[in-house]
Amino acid sequence: MAGADHAPESLNVQVFGPVAIATGVMRVKGVDGGKAYTRRERFVDTWLYKGGHWGCVGTDATPVLH
């Protein structure tokens, strides 16, 4: 999957001290095996604030099939 483009459709962030959980839906466009695709995915990202910076420590995305 080279050159994928991501655009958020929705985003919700909850902060718990040094940890933040971001959830939402994104639209992904790209090319895989020479074939263009567009799909929507639900995602959850886990962020940790450490040393004065936020860093993503975990992410998952699941295709929206309907």
The pLDDT value given to residue 4? 73
Q: pLDDT (tens digit, 9 = 90+) per residue, 3-51?
A: 678 888 999 999 999 999 999 999 999 999 999 999 999 999 999 999 9
The pLDDT value given to residue 2? 54
Q: Given a cut of 90, is residue 52 above it in pLDDT?
A: yes
> Domain ranges in the chain?
2-63
Query: 10 Å Cβ neighbour count for 19?
Result: 13
Q: Cα–Cα distances in Å, from 35 out to 2, 13, 15, 24, 38? A: 11, 34, 39, 26, 10
The pLDDT value given to residue 8? 87
The pLDDT value given to residue 54? 98
CATH code, residues 2-63: 3.10.450.50
